[in-house]
Homo-oligomer: A and B are copies of this chain.
Amino acid sequence: MRETTLRDVADLAGVSPRTVSNVVNGYARVTEATRGKVERAIAELGYRPNVLARNLATGRSGQIVVVVPYLDTPYFAELLQGIIPAARKLGYNVLVDQTDGDREHEGELIGRGSRRFLFDGMILSPLGLSQEDLAIRDPALPLVILGERVSDGTFDHVGIDDVAASTEAVRHLIDLGRRRIAAIGDQPYPTGEAAQLRTKGFRAAHAAAGLPVDESLIIGTARFNRVDGATAMAALLDRADPPDAVFCYSDLVASGAIHTLLGRGLRVPQDVAVIGYDDIEDGRYSNPTISTVSPDKRAIAQLAVERLVIRITSTEPVPGIELRAGHRLIARQSTLGRST
């Protein structure tokens, strides 16, 4: 049984297809009489517009895609909780895609891939793509980048001040009297910009306090997840001179690090204080609760969507800009201890 089309409705209602289209889209002025006829026909036939055909004719789809490396990273999942409603409010439907941080996959998405036609715009959190890779993007694709990439002027970038936030986190540890502070999560290569900014903050805090940085306490990890955090922490503890505090580049890393610490019978924070980054829900419920840098996720989501829609709807070229959302330090048990 064929799907009913505009034409079927038109025939039944005794009007032209164009009029049915007008009714469906609320266009132009249509008299109550004809509107009624058409609506009755629509109901009778169970007509629904074919969005594919509509999109082809109009050249727009009303959908935006949010591309993240991993959907099972709580930070992204929580960010999406802000993005989805914000976009819906502006009349866009959101679909989510995952790249596994794969450079090629990400490249295909922002490049001249065919999927382009399915979406009016994209919010991308790149992981596999370096700053340079971003240059190969399709300039016609409205794009907003999350995380640490600097806009090259053809797309927008939304993020927080990572260096400042990291500096605050490490200063917090210093203020608590810790002197051997480790950092877990550095990524000293082109795609590791976000990590590098945090390392920069780590150094800045030391410098501000007049403390030397023990380079050997800066541990690299391939990803910001629990396994890597646990492994890195184990390596640190196996040393002759373990740290008395750890700055983790994500709450997941912190969760893994704490797991290792507790597993070895050490106390957090008495033996080792831990601070994370992202403020995911997990950290508010874990034991101990995790001190963290809390980015204003709602603001990030809101800014990204607003800016993307501006880009989509504008007919003239929109200059790429940098948008900064706020952040704040939240001290919890993993640095302060149980009795607050």
Contact = CB atoms under 8 A, between A and B. Distances in A.
A255 to B, nearest CB: 5
A19 to B, nearest CB: 19
Contact of A50 (B93, B114, B140): B114
Nearest to A66: B96
Interface in A45-85: 46, 48-53, 55-56, 61, 63, 65, 71-72, 74, 77-78, 80-81, 84
Contacts of A50: 56, 114, 117
A332 interface: no
Interface string A192-233: 000000000000000000000000000000000010001000
A179 interface: no
Given A117-B51, A285-B255, A98 B80 contact: yes
Task: Please name the 4 residue pairs, one residue from A and one from B, whose CB atoms are nearest each other, closest first.
Answer: A72-B77, A95-B95, A96-B96, A259-B285
B93 A95 contact: no
A258 B56 CA distance: 53
Number of copies: 2
Given A48-B112, A114-B48, A72 B61 contact: no
B51 A118 contact: yes
B61 A71 contact: no
A117 B53 CA distance: 9
A226 to B, nearest CB: 5
A115 interface: yes
Interface residues of A, number: 48
B48 A113 contact: yes
A286 interface: yes
A178 interface: no
Interface string A296-323: 0000000000000000000000000000
A104 interface: no
Given A74-B74, A286-B287, A118 B52 contact: yes
6 contacts: A72-B80, A74-B74, A95-B95, A255-B285, A282-B282, A286-B287
Contacts of A116: 48
A262 interface: yes
B55 A84 contact: no
